[in-house]
Each structure stands twice: as C-alpha cells, then as structure tokens.
Structure 1
Amino acid sequence: MSKTSYPAGESHKRVHRDLIALGIAIAAIIMFVGTGSTVLPKIARSWIHGTAGPDHLLTNALLLNIALIIFGMRRYRQLISEIAERRKAEESAKILAETDALTGCLNRRSIGSATDRLIAGAAAGKDAVAFLMIDLDNFKQVNDLYGHTVGDAVLKLTTQRIQVIMPPDALIARLGGDEFACVIPYSSQNPDTIDTLVSRMIAAVSKPETIKGYPVENTMSLGIANNLAQDSSADSFVNADTLMHRADIAMYHAKKQGKNRYFWFEASMESELRFRNELEQGIRRGIQKSEFVPYYEQQIDLDSGTLVGFEMLARWNSPDLGLVNPTIFIPIAEEIGAISILSEQLIEQALIDAKQWNPKLTLSVNISPVQLRDPWFSQKLLKLLVKHNFPPQRLEIEITESCLHENLAVVKTMITSLKNQGIQISLDDFGTGYSSLTQLRALPFDRLKIDRSFVGELNDEEASEKIVNAIISLGHGLDLPITAEGIEDTKILEALRGRGKMKGQGYLYGRPEPAERVLIRLRDLNMLSVNPGTDEPAATDKDKEQVSERRRNSA
C-alpha cells in the first residue's frame, strides 16, 4: 500500500483538518492585512524617526498572524504534494488493475472495455475489428517438465513475439494461464490481412528456443471472430463479449482439428458446441440412469471355427438419440472425467452376463488409458471379480499401445498386479502405435491383437499382408497368441487360416449383440453355464436381480 493511501475514515478526518488549517490561514491573512496596515507604518516611523513604537499587543498579534500564515502556507504545500502523490498512486492502481503483471499486456478485466472502444472507433471509420483468441498448445507440459519459472519465461517470450507481429493500433491481452487475446482493426474490404498476420504469428511463436537451458518449442491454436454480421438478418456490429465468445468457440474448434492452426468463427461451430454440451449432459444422466449397456462380439478359433469367447463393447441406449456408437461418447466421457465410472458399470454388468455362459468362454473388455492412470484401478477390478465370484482366468483386459507411452512404469505395475490375480492382458490395436520390442519384452502381455486396419486389407494391399505376417511372426517369437479383428469376409478368413493358433472376430461371424441375443445364441449352441456336466455355478439370484434392475432402468 502506498504511504499516501489511508483508510476511508482516516481520509475524511485528514480532509476536515486540512479545511480547518486552510480557514485559519485565510483568517490570518485577513488579520495581517488589517493589523499590518496599522502596526507596520508605526514600526517604520519608529525605526526612522525614533518615535514611540506601536502597541505591544498589536505587535504580538501581527507576529501571530505571520506565524499562522507560514503554518498555512506550509500545510498548503504539503496538501498539494499529497494530492499529487494520491493521483499518482491511483493511476498506478488503475494500471495494476488493468494490466497483466507478468507480461505487461492488458488483462481479462480490461480487454472488454478496450475492445468496445476499438469497435466504436472502427465503426465510425467503416472498418471491422477481428478478435483473436489464442491458446498455447501443451503449455502445461512445459510447467510440469521444467517448472513455472521456465513457464513464465515462455509466456514473456510469446508476448514479445506477438507484439512484434501486431500492428501499432492492436490490443494485446493475457486472459490468464496460457491464454491470450488480440484485437485488431482492419479494412472490411481486405479480410486477408488478418489471415496473413495470423500465419506470421503462428510461424513466429513456434520457433524453437532454449530457455534456462531447456529446449522449448511452442505451438498455438487460434480462433478468430469479427464484428461484422454473420447473416443479413443480424445487426451489423457486435460487442466485445460476443466477439470473445465466438473467438473462443473457433479456438476450441482449432484444438479439436489438431492444434497449431487457426479457424474463423462460423455459426455451425456454435451449433456443434451446443450439441457437444448436450452430449456431455446426456452422458452424465445416462450413467445415473444406467443407459449404457454392454454388447458382445464373438471371438472364434480360426482353425476349428469354435466360439471361444466374447469381447464386450459399449453402447449408449439413449432415449433421445437412440443407440449411440462408442466412437462418439467414449472420447467425450474421457474428457469430462466420466469414463471410469461408466466403464466400471459396464464391466460389472458384463461379469453378471458372462456368469450365465459356459465357463470355457472368455470375456474381453477394453480399458481406457485414463483408467490406467488410476492407481486403484486393479483393486477396483479385483473387487468386482470377488463381488460376483467371477473366475479371473476368464477375464481378458485389452489395453491400447498409446497407454504405454504415458507412464510405462505405472502401466507395468498395473499389469503385473492384474496378472498376479490370474487376469489375462492383451495389447490391443497392435501395429498402429509405437511399441518397441523392449516394451513387449518388459511387459507381461498374454496376447497381441492385430488392428482391423491391417486385417481388413489383407488381400488388397501387399504392404498390409507383410505387416500382418510380421506381427504374427513376432507373436510366435515372443510366444504370444494372436487375435485378428476385422474379419469381414471369407477371403480374409482364408488368408489368416493356417498361420498358427489364432482367434478372430469380425462381421463375418455376426455383429455385436446385446446380452439377450447372446443368451439365445448360447442356448442354441448348448453353451450356457446351467448345462449338465459343467462345474460352473449358474448366475446367483442377486446377479439376476441386478440384471433385471439395470435393464428396467435402461428401458
């Protein structure tokens, strides 16, 4: 706090005292004029002619007036100085309130009003205003890897590079974290000016730099909105809040499209974002109402054609959208942090369903990379197995290659914990990621699963066939059984047969089915757990009650 800043009550008291001091000084001046006109001539005559001096009382009164005038003038000068310091402090406080302390740019609080002023000025000159919303890609990793000191240096460097590109009349603000905004007036007849400027900005900001000994390479995603009408029925100009909202939507779209790029706002983006928000809300409601249900895809022994198990696939039985494919809702569920509880619900339902199958049939379930970050995941899964008395050797967990690059040590610990309980571990979508032989040797996998993108082109692309042969040979060399997914026709099946013991799945054997259809299929094949000669107990009454309750809720 400045030394010239005072609490409100103290400030009022000082103003009151200042008024009293000023009043005393004015009164002293008036008295000095009256008294001095009488006393001073007498003093002068006394000194010159040696006559009697003025009355002592009048002389003392004059001296008192002089003292009061000196006091008043000193207080007046102090008051002027204090007022100047207060104004300076207020200006400094205003600057601090409207400026980002780290970069010296405007902040979120001030960019709105400054943008509105710029829009008003541009409107008077028949020009347009572009609002740029900027977000640095993967900036959190810089803070996590190198610390916040390096992160702050990156933000300062980014600001400097942006300032070099921006025209003099542009506004630059740091909204918070790694998010920036630029507001640029431009001619509505030449919108390409903004595209050129933004392309230069992306190139400038992305130049590699060594900061405090660490290599840093920034990229950024941008969204752009202007204040011109989006359609003929709309107003010609919009305000700062609308521009910021639209630019933010466009920036989010750039993030989704792969980052390190920019997009102009389009009305369809807002509709897409609204639909996305509706999906998020629907997913949360769906979890509460058990609308997510397991479907099952057959897994077949390719040599004998025997059914050996099922892979559980998620489906969303939405009352508004119908049956929704997992490629739509799984990524969203991962982003909003709902994938763990959703997956646990599905796995529990699948365990209940699978207890009604022949005990020789296995159950495969896919695990999200998000779940593998949970140190308690293996304990949660084992708790479900114990709860439903499900044999762990019948369960196969499928994890994707991408999981191996996030935290190999954590994944290894998780896999080892699950394997120690008898659960099988499969590496899914093998061939699409970056697994190394070292990782395959270090991690105790039980099976490799060839991605459908290779299997589906077996007889069409020579390269794909070579990749499949290489994966199969690798599996044999590491003593890992193979599962081929995406078997769509007999040509692919024949191409895979005779290449060793292998499981396969795909639409050739039928599409994924709900639990009710699976039970009918297994009943026809005489492969239910209640069949004579099996030592697997049938589903308990509690399990059946849970199945009925979940199906009633989803209906």
Structure 2
Amino acid sequence: MTANSAKTHRRRTDRPNRKVGRRERDITTLGIAFAAIILFVGTAGVVLPNLLKAWNGEGASPDAALTNALLLNIALILLGWHRYKALSEELVTRRASEAEARRLADIDHLTGCHNRRSFTAALGDLLVDLERREQALAAIAVDLDNFKQVNDLHGHQAGDEVLRVTSARIQRLLPDGGILARLGGDEFVCVVPYHPQVPDRVDQLAARMIEHVARPVEYAETPVDVTMSIGIASSTQMDDMRDGTASAQKLMHKADIAMYHAKKQGKNRFYWFEPQMENELRFRNELEAGIRRGIAAGEFRPYYEQQIDIETGELVGFEMLARWESPEMGVVGPDIFIPIAEEIGVISEMSEALIAQAFEDAKQWDSDLSLSVNISPIQMRDPWFAQKLLKLLVRHNFPANRLDIEITESCLHENVGMVRTMISSLRNQGVRVSLDDFGTGYSSLSQLRSLPFDRLKIDRAFIAELKQEEHGAKLVDAILTMSDGLNLPVTAEGIENELVLETLKRMGKMKGQGYHYGRPEPAELVLERLARQNLLAKDKLNNVTEVDFTAHDNRHGGGKRAG
C-alpha cells in the first residue's frame, strides 16, 4: 500500500470512529443535563423556600452545600441547553451541505443540466411510472458534429462556450416534463413525454433543435458554427420498462444507435431508431475488430490493375489496389473497409504495409513498368507523410522514378499549402504525383497551375458516359483540351468495352485502365502475366546480358562465329 493510499485508508477508517466518538459525547452530555434537571428539581424544592424566607427575614440562611448544588445544577442545565442548540445548528448546516453535495453530484458543472448518473436514474423512474399513464417517452441522443475542430481552431474555452450555449438552446425548446443531460464531451441526451399517436411532435422538436443549434455562437467576436446529429428512440420500442435504471440504459442505447446512423448518413439530421440499425452497428463493430485483426495478421494484400498505353496497347504499369482476404468473409473490396479504416485511425498503418509489399512485388517486374499507389486524404494530413514514403523507398531499395502516387481533389481543400510542400518534396526525389478522380471535386485552374502535378486521371464516371451519351464525349474532350494547355498527360479510368476504347483512341494519346483489360490480380497472377510477355526483371537482365556478350564478340572480331 502506498503512502497516499494508506493515508486515504486511515481517513476512511477514522471517519466512522470520529462519528462514534461524537455520538458518545452527545449521549454523555444529554445524560448529564438530564441528571442535572432531576437534581435541580430535588434541591430547588428545599433551597428555594428557605432562600425566600431568608430574604424576607423570616428564617435562617439555607445550607451552603445545597445552595452550591443548586447553582451547579443551573450551570449544567445551561451547558446542556447550549450544547443542544449547537447540535441543532450543526445538524441543519450538515443537512444543507449534504443536500448541496447531492445537487452538485447530480448536475454537470459546465452546463448546469443533469449528468449521466442522475439522468439515468430519473429516466428509470419515469419509465417505471409510465405504465400508469397514457403517454410515451422519447429519448433524444444529441452529438455535435466535428466538435473537435472547434477546440482545435478556437481553443477549449470556445468549446466550453459552445457547450453552454448549446445546452441553453436545447433547454429552452424542451416541453414541460422534459429533462436534459450532458453525458460528457459534446454528447447530450434528453427525454420528453409525448402521446404515442402524435410522434410528429417529437419530429418537430428535433427539427427545431437542429435549426437553433446551427446558429453561430459568438466567442471573442468570432462566430463559431456547429451542427448536430440526433437519434430518437421511443419507450414504445421497449419490451419491459420495469427494470428502472437498466431499462433507461437500454432506451438510451437505442437512441445512440439512431444518432450514429444520422452521423453515417451525412450528419446535421435526425433519425428514429429502427431494429436494423442495431444489426448494422453490430456488423460495423465486427468489421472494425476484423480490420484491426486483419492488419496484425497480414490479411490485407495488394492487387494490381493494368495500365495500358491506349495508342499502342502496350502495358506500361500497374495501379496497386487494396483487397482484404478475410478468412470469414472472403475477398473484400476497398469500398467496404477503407472508409472504416480511415474513421478508426488505422489507414496509415494499413497503407504503409501495403505500399511496402507493393515495392517488393514491383521489384520483380520490368524496370520500365510503373507502380501507382492511391493515398488517403487522412494520410495527406500528416505533415511527415512525404518523409515516411521516402523512407520506405530507401528501405526497400525501390527506384523513386517508378512510383506514381495518386491523391484526390478533396485533399486540396483541407490544406493546400501543406499539400504543395509534400508534392514538391516527393517530386524533388523523383516520385511522380497524379491528381486522381479529376472532375469530381472542386479544384480550380489556379490550383492546377500552382500545384506541380505530373498527370491527371479522368474519373470513371465521365468515361462510362462515352458509351451512351454525346455530352459525355464533350466533357472528356474538354478535360483533354485543358490538360494539353497545362501540359499534363492523362489517364482514363473505367474503360470497360471496345466502344469506349475506340472513342478514347480518337481523342488523343493517353493511358487507360479498366475491366476491359482485365480485373485486378494478386501478385502471383501478375508475375505469370509478365512472364508470358517477357516483362519480368530477370528476363530483361538476360536479354541485356546476351546483347552485351554479342557486342563483346563483335568487338573481338566475331569470336566463335569466325571459327
């Protein structure tokens, strides 16, 4: 036991002893006062009559011992009364302090509303009493959207002010009988009574809450904008409400699930709880756990999609695409696990492991074949990303001029200055940088001119329109004209049939990729493909060796052929 814990233990064990000692002293004082009163009655009956006669000159003075005993009794009675009065005042003060302590324990110190403990107990009581009423209760879970950015941009004091203002705005909107609590951080929950046949009242309340909270909060003469996501669960969705606190926790959990669904659907909106949401959340949690296990077990593997010179039909490189070879679910595409990996903060670890494996795979290819790698916007927020990537290149001894990283337009809007620095740092080492999914974001011509990209990739949505709509060809032609003006080569994604391919051939020179050339393949099948085309690194080495030997023979007069 440490010194601090020992002191705490002594304080806790001494506290009951002090209470016992105080009670013993109080009982002793009460006993003395009671005995003094009895003695006073006995002595006063004798002393007082004699004392009055003596004052009137009708008799001798009372006995001195009895007189002193009477005075002592009076002193003891006064002492007992003073002690009783002090104890009464102490009891009143203690009760007030305990009441204040209970009140402080039941409220959130920042916003003044209920905290989790007191709200759960209050909701449990309401649910138990609900069986005797013709009402329903709606639990409304509230979470502020992107609240971390408020703290990061404006400071924690601004965040505290936003929480206080948000709490006050919600509180003003609640109907009679409504209770609001702050669960912690930027999470709130409230409960409101409503008639089961009129759930629209709750919808209207949620809509007003979203509208009022979205108004800017003034802090230090700076408007701070926030929005919130809301999930609603009704007591009518509960099977049993007699468990009090347990029932309250179940209802709050359902509201939380609906709130997370609102977040997933785009934030700044509300949803009522539905049973399938719980299944989706359970599946989501299983995916998160599976992704973490899969990273540790090496279940994420690079697959490769061919990149072709459209004019010549020659293979010029591969784009690395991630696949999850899950023992439970089979091969899972990146559209399933990449967004989740980004949200739970493991995308960088996953991506670096995939890139490292891709470097080792690509070292077995012909040295003229390039390797393209997609970079998550989350990774581009890391100011050390460029250094990490260059370190991987050195560690795996992979030529920088064979690597082409692809970033999306969304990366440009978060921190253009940092993105420009990263791109310049990578290009200075020989790495090429492409702007991926061009046309789907909001990049301007000025950004394209100021950022040193090496290539544009036309999004597959525009390429897909070439097979059926005339204006699709005009859009692609406009992009190609712009790329010519910026002196940027182009790669067309999503080539899926011969018609699209022939249309692109007529538009100019470019690289292309898509299912028309084949599906993405694991490293083993890529090596088989390259072996058939004599595009493995060892094949080229053999060819070079044979040419060198021939040249050597010619320089020496033909050698064996002369013989």
Q: 2:301 aligns with which of 266, 280, 293?
A: 293
Contact 2:165 2:217 in 1 (8 A): no
CA distance in 2, matches of 1:237, 1:328: 40
CA contact (8 A) 1:122 1:185 kept: no
Q: Determine the structure 2 residue equivalent to 1:111.
A: 119
Q: Deviation at 1:257?
A: 0.4
Is 1:228–1:236's contact at 8 Å kept on the other side of the alignment? no
Match of 2:521 in 1: 513
> Which digits, 9 at most, give the CA deviation of each residue in 1:215-254, with x for residues without a partner?
1233211111122246xxx547771011011111111001
| 1:449 and 2:457 correspond | yes
1:339 to partner: Cα distance: 1.3
Of 22, 25, 28, 1:17 maps to 25
The amino acid of 1:120's aligned partner reads: V
Contact 1:303/1:498 (<8 A) preserved: no
- Tell me the equivalent position of 1:305: 313
> 2:535 aligned to 527, 532, 536, which one?
527
**Residue number in structure 1 paired with 2:86:** 78
Is it true that 1:438 corresponds to 2:429 in the alignment? no
What's the TM-score, normalizing by structure 2?
0.89
Deviation at 1:370, TM superposition (A): 1.9
The one-letter code matched in structure 1 to 2:21 is K
Residues 136-184 of structure 1, C-alpha deviation per residue, up to 9 Å, x if partnerless?
A: 1122222222222222222122112212221121111111111111112
2:422 matches 1:422: no
1:346 matched residue in structure 2: 354
Equivalent residues, number: 530
Q: Do the aligned partners of 1:451 and 1:484 also contact (CA within 8 Å) in 2?
A: yes
- For residues 368-383 of structure 1, the aligned pairs below 5 Å read 368-383=376-391
Q: More displaced, 506-515 or 401-410?
A: 401-410
Partner of 2:552: none
Letter in 2 for 1:473: T
Question: Match for residue 128 of structure 2?
Answer: 120
Q: 1:462 to 1:44 in 2, by over 3 A?
A: farther
Percent of matched pairs sharing the same residue = 60
Q: Is the 8 A contact 1:430 1:449 kept in 2?
A: yes
Match of 1:488 among 489, 496, 500: 496
CA offsets, 1:321-366, max 9 Å, x none? 1111100011111112221221122112211211121111100011
Q: Does 1:228 align with 2:236?
A: yes
Aligned partner of 2:327 in structure 1 is: 319
In structure 1, the residue matched to 2:6 is none
Residues 208 and 383 of structure 1, relative CA distance in 2, 3 Å threshold: closer
Q: Which amino acid aligns with 1:171?
A: I
Paired letter, 1:121: D
**Deviation larger for 205-214 or 500-509:** 205-214
Moved more, 120-129 or 375-384: 375-384
1:92 & 1:369 partners in 2: Cα distance?
Answer: 50
Structure 1 gaps, min length 5: 538-555
CA displacement at 1:415 relative to structure 2: 2.1
SS class of match (2:477): helix
TM-score when normalising by structure 1: 0.90
Deviation at 1:45, TM superposition (A): 1.5
SS of corresponding position for 2:539? coil
Deviations 1:262-293 (A, max 9, x none): 11111111111111111112112222222111
- The aligned residue for residue 244 of structure 1 is 252
CA contact (8 A) 2:366 2:540 kept: no
Match of residue 66 from structure 2: 58
The correspondence for 1:137, drawn from 139, 145, 150, is 145
Does residue 384 of the first structure (1) align with residue 392 of the second (2)?
A: yes
1:180 and 2:188 aligned: yes
Measure the CA separation in 2 of the matches of 1:18 and 1:413: 78
Q: Report the residue type matching 2:368 in the other structure.
A: K
Trace 1:164-203 onto structure 2 (pairs within 5 A).
164-203=172-211
1:156 correspondence with 2:164: yes
After superposing the two structures, state which structure 1 stretch, 318-327 or 367-376, moved more: 367-376
Distance 1:332 1:215 in 2: 32
SS in 1 for 2:407: strand
The 2-side partners of 1:258 and 1:461 are apart by 31
Change in 2 beyond 3 A, CA 1:18/1:387: same
State the partner residue of 1:32. Answer: 40
Instruction: For residues 397-425 of structure 1, give each alpha carbon's deviation from its aligned partner in whole angstroms, at most 9, with x where no partner exists.
Output: 11111122223333233222222221111
Are the aligned partners of 1:292 and 1:315 in contact in 2 as well (CA < 8 Å)? yes
Partner Cα distance (2:242, 2:469) in 1: 55
Does the 8 Å contact 1:249/1:273 carry over to 2? yes
Taking the aligned partners of 1:109 and 1:217, their CA distance within structure 2 comes to 30
Quote how far apart the aligned CAs of 1:10 are: 3.2
Code of the aligned partner of 1:47: W
Q: Which amino acid aligns with 1:317?
A: E
- Unpaired stretches in structure 2, ≥5 consecutive residues: 1-11, 546-563
After superposition, the C-alpha distances for 1:37-92 in whole angstroms (9 at most, x for unaligned) are 11111111211235322111111111111111111111111100000010011111
Q: Which amino acid aligns with 1:249?
A: I
- Which of structure 1's runs of 4+ aligned residues deviate more than 6 A? 534-537
The answer to whether the 8 A contact 1:358-1:536 is kept is: no
Q: What secondary structure is seen at the aligned counterpart in 1 of 2:236?
A: coil
1:451-504: per-residue Cα shift (whole Å, max 9, x none)?
111222135445544443333233222222111111222332233334443211
Change (3 A) 1:223 1:524: same
Q: Which amino acid aligns with 1:518?
A: V
Residue in 2 that maps onto 1:540: none
Question: How many angstroms apart in 2 are the aligned matches of 1:463 and 1:216?
Answer: 42
Deviation at 1:385, TM superposition (A): 2.1
1:358 aligns with 2:366: yes
Deviations 1:352-387 (A, max 9, x none): 211121111100011112222334333332233223
Contact 2:258 2:274 in 1 (8 A): yes
Mapped contact 1:118–1:185 kept (Cα < 8 A): no
Deviates more, 1:265-274 or 1:484-493: 484-493
Question: Bigger shift: 234-243 or 253-262?
Answer: 234-243
Do 1:42 and 1:53's aligned partners in 2 also have CA atoms closer than 8 Å?
Answer: yes
Question: After superposition, what is the alpha-carbon deviation per residue over 1:1-30, rounded to whole angstroms, capped at 9, x for unaligned?
Answer: xxxx99444333333222222222222211
C-alpha separation in 2, matches of 1:195 and 1:179: 19
Q: Counterpart amino acid of 2:120? A: G
Q: Which amino acid aligns with 1:443?
A: L
Q: Which amino acid aligns with 1:421?
A: Q
Maintained 8 Å contact 2:128/2:241: no
C-alpha distance in structure 2 between counterparts of 1:384 and 1:148, whole Å: 37
Distance 1:131 1:368, change over 3 A: same
Equivalent-residue separation in structure 2 for 1:386 and 1:144 (angstroms): 35
Partner SS for 1:457: helix
Change (3 A) 1:536 1:254: farther
